[in-house]
Structures are given as structure tokens and as C-alpha cells.
Structure 1
Amino acid sequence: MNSVEGLLTQIRGLSSTASDVLSLQNVLKQADESLHAESTRLLPFLDQLDPSKHSLGYLYFLEACTAGPVTTESASSFVLIIARFISSCVAEQIRLAPDKFISVCKRFKDQVLLLEEPLRGVAPMLTAVRKLQSSTEHLTTLHPEFLLLCLLAKCYKTGLSILEEDIFEVDQPRDLYLYCYYGGMICIGQKCFRKALELLHNVVTAPMSTINAIAVEAYKKYILVSLIHHGQLSTSLPKYASGVAQRNLKSLCLSYMELANSYNNGKIADLETYVQANMEKFGSDNNLGLVKQVVSSIYKRNIQRLTQTYLTLSLQDIANTVQLNSPKEAEMHVLQMIQDGEIYATINQKDGMVRFVEDPELYKTCEMIEHIDLSIQRLMTLSNKLTVMDELISCDPLYLGKAGRERQRFDFDDFDSVPQRFNI
């Protein structure tokens, strides 16, 4: 215990200036093994440190305290201690030991889940993400942990706040997979299907040397959301998707591909029959709710088809064509689609006729001009980012080494072989 007391004295004395904290970091690294050996007796010493002043030292003690198994009884107190630390710690200090901070935050997540109270972890984990980030463009290992808590607590709007930020820096590839997958699920929960498709698409087309479970589950949801949002599914992945994904994803998601084929036929009865026959499969994948939304969306898709053929149509004709039960049900579908901006139409209540019209947007309102201006600015920022990234890659030794090896395969400096190659 004397060594622990001495370490506490050093922590209190070396937490004032940046140079002192760097010296403290070396001391703590050397003491880390002994702290873990005393882990079961360290908890009382935390009261002798101020997390807002001695953040780095407090972090080392807290990480050692939480390294062992945690019971439900002790989890409740640890959750309070860690939440208080996350709230008051100094970002500049905890970034000197990011692995320690990430470990503590992940244990915090495990503990709130052990208590079955994910909501308690949402706000502290968001704070942890912000303190660990070097900028809003930086994707940390804690991003997926935060989004998972948002999902389990059904705090979708809180999760959306972080998904609106553009990401250009990633610590680990797995973080990107989970971030986009959980983010896609949060967007689905908020019915932000366009953003959900974008995130799921990133998972499916991300570089991968072997197929992984995250990509497979993401592709299943990608198929369903494509049908809901676009009313169709592209039969092939983009060329920039990895060869592994191109070869394997469809065969691993056959039930969903067959669902898409049934959907494309436009026959509601056939689609419902297929869903009923595969109810257990979709349920075991936790996708049954999405599948039901796919079935509901086929009515919208069939109504949208009518707008391409007719200028006016009665509600009764719409109900008959789309296979709805009554004109009233057809009216409710049309009204909802008008409200969502999916079709442009007017309904004459007197004679029950629907008149389909062109998009009324003239693109000259102040709101639309501001929207276009913001889009242009965002594209210019993205273009500048890509230019900088291209310059960095072109100077990267690993890239240059690989590019050089590839060039040698097509190098014809060996003049002795030229006559053979060109039959001279």
C-alpha cells in the first residue's frame, strides 16, 4: 500500500502543467502492472483524487479497479463512478491513454447492460465520444458503443445527432462496420430510409478480405430498405465493392433475394404467401418488422406506377388495381403519399377522383436556394478533402511500394525479352 500512497502523491503533484502530465504518464506506465495486482483494494483510493484535476491518474486507477469481474451489486456503484469521471475528466489528459479510456468506457457500457438500463449510458457515452475525438471528422472506437446504447434505449434522435457528421478518419475498420450498421438501424427506427441506405451501403461496399457477419446482416437490411424506399433492388453491387462481397453476399442472403424477386412481380398475394412461408427465418434475423414494412410499401409502389400511366383515376379504380379493400383505404394511402412527397396529386372529394400532377417545386424559393447553396458548399468541402487525401496517399511509402511492385509487372526494360513478346 505504501507504493500506492506514493503514486497518489506523484499524481497530485504532477497534474498541473502539460509537461508534468507527460512525466506522470511515464510513471503510471511503469506502475500499471502493480496497480492491476492491487486492483481489488484500489477503489477507496479514488476518493483521494479529483477526476477534473487528476484525470490521467484517476483513469489508471479506475481502469485497474474495473479490470476484474463485476457483479450486479457492484455494477451500480461503478456506473455512477465512471459516469462522474467521464463528465468531469480533462480531454487532453485522457487522450494520452486512449486505450485505457476506451476500456473503461466499454466496461461502463457492459455494466449498464448488466443492469438492463441502457438509457443510463447514453449521455455519458456521448460525452466520452466527444472527449476522445480529435475532431468531429474522427470516428472513434466508442462511436459504435454509443450507437448500440441508443438502439437498445430507443433513443434514436440522440443517435442521429452524431450520424449527421461527415467522417474522414477511422481508427479501426471494424469500428466503421459497426458504426454504419448500428447507424443504419437507428435511421430505420426513425424511418430515415435514405440515410439508412447510405450507411448500410457503406458496410456492404467497404473493403474486406473475407466475408464478415456484419456485412451479411447489413446486406439483408439493405435489401429490405431498398424495397421500402426505392421500390426496387439493384441486382448487382457497385464495381468498387470488394470481390469477396460480390461473390458471397447474395448466396448468403438467398431468402431476401427471393423476397425482392417476389416484390418486383407486384403481386401482393404472392408476396404475402412468401413472407408467411419464411416468417420464422425473418423473425430469427430480427427483420420481421422491416419485412412487414416491405409488404405495406408494395401498395405505394403500385400507386406510383399508376402515376406514370394515368392523369386521373377514381379511388375505386385505384383500390381495384392496387388490391386494396375499399376506396376509403385507397384514399388514405394516396393522402399519406402526398403528405410524404412521394406523389403529387389532388383528390376531388365530391366525385372521388384523383388527379396526378407534376412536381410543383419551381426551385426559386428562398428555402430552396439556401438548400442548394448549402449543398454546393458541402460538395466543395468534400472535394477539398479528397484532394488532400489524394496527396497524402500519393506520398505514402506503403502505397508507393505497392505501386512500384505493380509497375514492375508491366516493365519492359528487359530488352532481351522484347523480341519474344512482340514476335520480332
Structure 2
Amino acid sequence: MNSVEAVVAQIQGLSGSGSTAQDLVHLHTLLKQSDEFLSSDSGRAASLLSQLDPCIHSLGYLYILEACTSDPISKDQSSEIALSIAGFVDACKAEQIRLAPDKFISVCRRLKDQVLLVETPIRGVAPMLTAVRKLQSSSEQLTTLHPDFLLLCLLAKCYKTGLSVLEDDVYEVDQPRDFFLYCYYGGMICIGQKQFHKASELLHNVVTAPMSTINAIAVEAYKKYILVSLIHSGQFSTSFPKYASSVAQRNLKNFSQPYIDLANSYSTGKISELESCVQTNKDKFESDNSLGLVKQVVSSMYKRNIQRLTQTYLTLSLQDIANTVQLKSPKEAEMHVLQMIQDGEIYATINQKDGMVRFLEDPEQYKTCRMIEQIDSSIQRIMALSKKLTAMDEHMSCDPLYLGKVGRERQRHDFEDFDSVPQKFNI
């Protein structure tokens, strides 16, 4: 094909209403051969896009759109380009664009770049979510576009939209960097929604993921993981689990000393020591954009100290609570107690007349229909996860590459063990 017109004609002929899967594969081959030609004549190609229907001719439209947007785009053109790409993403057929995933990813990332250039990330959230769903072969697959989508959600503060993707269980990962960014951005979105348990899980995944060298994503995730752990559970252990990489165990602490110092101060239960540590490292926390989260750590210590009081006292005055947990006034103590009651962190009543707080037992009897449904849902999910892990284990045990590596490792260890026997006797 020696002209853009010929390319368009082939696209119309091979991806029309009566086209077959073989036709699309043949068209894909032709388009790959014409890729350089389309890029060199992108201006002419752009003028012919109107002859194609993005819904019917998705594959060909994708190739031409990618060629048309490959040149540098000015800020004045950004809105128009972003609108064109968003329209294509919404209309295109998933089975066609999956034939050229790299092209589709490239076009979608240009959409992200353009909305960030004009500082309107919210315009890219809905199209990028659509792109993720169309690129996925199943909800269990983590695509390269997941981190880009979550980044736009973060910048646009569309946290609930980001959570819709984070609810999926991921089992298929193509690129390690995608996994690191997905978990880090996902953790930040959960922090924005104050879902600290989920945030802790995602950040933990980054910290303990296999890595051959230390990377900036893991370092930042470890810092946030410390803070989130303190807020969520009131404690943090500097010991890494056995499955964490040796690289992480050796290096992450060296990059996070102010945060480890904060965790050590938190463990004392003394608010004065914690605030002193915050003040000492304030510049570092600010440069890491973590000061807001650090302030939530300080606030959580007041809550932890109030929770400890519920284990000792049945009733206590607001003045005594303020004195014990080092709050400035009974009014401030009342605000903390009310917030904790609202969040379900403690069970108590406040007598406004005499300023007394009565601590109560957990009213949940674990026999309501709602609680039974919740428990049943958790059991079903665990059973499904168990089946999935069993299937993955069986698949891995049949993988020739895995078996070959295990065989080599076993031979090496057997040789080493045999060689060590005389050394032991010599000693």
C-alpha cells in the first residue's frame, strides 16, 4: 500500500460488518507494514479519519490516530486531541484494539499527557477507566493502564472512582513496575478515603514485592506504610516478613529513618515525645508531602490512649480524659470521644449535664442477618481464593521453566551439602 487512501480502503474492506477474525488478523499485518508510512504522512492520514467509524473500524482507526498524535502537541491543541482520543476509547471495540495493545496504550497515555498539560485530570478519568476495562481480558488482569488511571483519580481527587478498580482481585501481572505503581497509587487513594486497612495491604504489597534493586516507589511506599500502620493499628514493626526481598530488608530502613523514629516515639504512648519528633523532622515530612498524614498519626495517638481507658474504667469525666491523654480541655476531649463513637471505634455515652463518659460493651451479638451475610460472603471469597491458589500452584508445577530452575537449584544444593561433609569432620 503506497498511499494513505489505499490504507483506508483496506481498513474499510477488512473490518466492515461482514469481516471475520482472519480478516482482522490480515489487516493487522498490513497496518504493521504501513506503520512508518502512516507516521510520515500523518497530516494526510488525519484528514481521512472522518471516513472511518471508530466502532466498526477500530483497529485501523487506532493505527491512524496513533500516527496523527505522534508529533509534539501544543497546549492549544491539547483539548481537541484529548476529546478525539476520549471519543475513540468510548466507541472502539475491545476485540479489535486488543490485537494492537501497545498502540492502544500509547494513544491512551497521550490522552493522560494532554489532560495533565492543561491541568484538568478529571477529564481523563472516565475515558481511562473505559480503556482499562476494554484492554483487560478479565477483571483479574493488571494492565499497563491501571497506574495511569489511578494517578488521574488521585490528581482529580476522584477517590471513589479509583476504588471501583481496587476492588478487583489481581492475579495476572505483566510488568513489575505496573504492580508497584498500582499498589502505591491505590494505597494513596485508600488513604484519601480513610480506608487505612486496605491502604495498609496495598502498601505492604509494594514493600514485600520481589525486587532485585531498591527503587523509589518502594521507598515512598515504605514511608507511607509506616504512617498508615500507626493510624490503623497503633503499632509498627521494623521486622520484615520472611518473604520480603533481601534488597528491601537491607535498604528500606536507611531511606526512612525519620519515619522509624516517629514509630518509636509513638510506641511510648507519650504525646509530648511524638510531637517533639514531628517538630524535629517537620522539614523532611513536608518535602515528602507527608505532613498531613503525620498529623493524622498524632491525632490517632489521642484515640489510642482513649481506647486504653475503656479497658480500665466504666465511667470517667471529660476533664480526667483530657488530663490523662494530654488534651488541652474537656471540650477537646468531648470532640474526640464523639468522633470515635461515630466511627465505631468505642462504645460510650456522654452525660452533658455532669460531663461524665460511660463506656459500654460492643453491642454486636454476631447473630443478625446482616452479620451472617457478611460472614458468609467472607467465607465464599476465601474458598474462591483457595481454589485459585490451588490452580495456580498446579499450573506452576507443570511449567518447564520453573521445573528446570528448581532442578538446577536442587543439584547445586545437593552438591554443596555433599561437599560440606568432610569439612565438618575436619573441624
Q: TM-score range by the shorter chain?
A: over 0.9
Q: Which residue of the partner structure matches residue 269 of structure 2? A: 266
Distance in 2, Cα, partners of 1:348 & 1:235: 42
CA contact (8 A) 2:28 2:59 kept: yes
Distance in 2, Cα, partners of 1:410 & 1:283: 49
User: Unmatched 5+ residue regions in structure 2?
Assistant: none
Deviation string for 1:268-308 (max 9, x for gaps)?
A: 22222222232221111111111111111111111112122
Distance in 2, Cα, partners of 1:363 & 1:131: 41
Q: Secondary structure at the match of 1:309?
A: coil
Q: Which residue of the partner structure matches residue 8 of structure 2? A: 8
Q: Which residue of the partner structure matches residue 217 of structure 1? A: 220
Q: Which residue of the partner structure matches residue 243 of structure 1? A: 246
Moved more, 270-279 or 146-155: 270-279
Once the two structures are superposed, the pairs formed by residues 151-230 of structure 1 within 5 Å of their partners are 151-230=154-233
Shift of 1:234: 1.5
Once the two structures are superposed, the pairs formed by residues 297-312 of structure 1 within 5 Å of their partners are 297-312=300-315
Distance in 1, Cα, partners of 2:201 & 2:293: 17
Shift of 1:45: 1.5
Shift of 1:142: 0.4
Distance in 2, Cα, partners of 1:173 & 1:414: 34
Q: Does structure 1 residue 275 correspond to structure 2 residue 299?
A: no
Q: Secondary structure at the match of 2:350?
A: strand
Deviation string for 1:244-287 (max 9, x for gaps)?
A: 11111111100111111112222222222222232221111111
Q: Which residue of the partner structure matches residue 69 of structure 2? A: 66
Shift of 1:349: 2.9
Where in structure 1 do 4 or more consecutive aligned residues deviate above 6 Å? 412-415
Shift of 1:418: 10
Shift of 1:68: 1.7
Once the two structures are superposed, the pairs formed by residues 9-408 of structure 1 within 5 Å of their partners are 9-15=9-15, 16-408=19-411
Shift of 1:41: 3.5
Distance in 2, Cα, partners of 1:162 & 1:413: 47
Distance in 2, Cα, partners of 1:69 & 1:26: 27
| Distance change in 2, residues 1:293/1:6 (3 Å) | same
Deviation string for 1:55-113 (max 9, x for gaps)?
A: 00000111111112111122121111101100000000000000000000011100110
Q: Which amino acid aligns with 2:264?
A: N
Q: Secondary structure at the match of 2:47?
A: helix
Q: Secondary structure at the match of 1:209?
A: coil
Distance in 2, Cα, partners of 1:96 & 1:351: 72
Q: Secondary structure at the match of 2:34?
A: helix
| Distance change in 2, residues 1:421/1:322 (3 Å) | closer
Deviation string for 1:16-67 (max 9, x for gaps)?
A: 3222111101111111121122224421121111100100000011111111
| Distance change in 2, residues 1:302/1:165 (3 Å) | same
Q: Which amino acid aligns with 1:200?
A: L
Number of corresponding residues: 423
Deviation string for 1:379-420 (max 9, x for gaps)?
A: 0000000001001111111211111011112437999x7984
CA contact (8 A) 2:90 2:130 kept: yes
Q: TM-score, normalised by structure 1?
A: 0.96
Deviation string for 1:322-355 (max 9, x for gaps)?
A: 1112222212211211121112223233332222
Q: Considering only aligned residues, what root-mean-square deviation do their CA atoms show, in Å?
A: 1.9
Moved more, 364-373 or 15-24: 15-24
Moved more, 183-192 or 234-243: 234-243
Distance in 2, Cα, partners of 1:269 & 1:44: 68
Shift of 1:312: 2.2
Distance in 2, Cα, partners of 1:200 & 1:220: 9
Shift of 1:421: 7.2
Identity %: 75
User: Unmatched 5+ residue regions in structure 1?
Assistant: none
Shift of 1:422: 8.1
Distance in 1, Cα, partners of 2:421 & 2:61: 73
Distance in 1, Cα, partners of 2:406 & 2:421: 27
Moved more, 271-280 or 314-323: 271-280
| Distance change in 2, residues 1:258/1:422 (3 Å) | closer
Q: Which amino acid aligns with 2:111?
A: F
Moved more, 342-351 or 386-395: 342-351
CA contact (8 A) 2:4 2:44 kept: no
| Distance change in 2, residues 1:421/1:235 (3 Å) | closer
| Distance change in 2, residues 1:414/1:53 (3 Å) | same
Deviation string for 1:158-199 (max 9, x for gaps)?
A: 111111111111121111100010011111111111111111
Q: Secondary structure at the match of 2:379?
A: helix
Q: Secondary structure at the match of 2:357?
A: strand
Distance in 2, Cα, partners of 1:418 & 1:279: 53
| Distance change in 2, residues 1:214/1:419 (3 Å) | closer
Shift of 1:359: 1.8
Q: Secondary structure at the match of 1:346?
A: strand
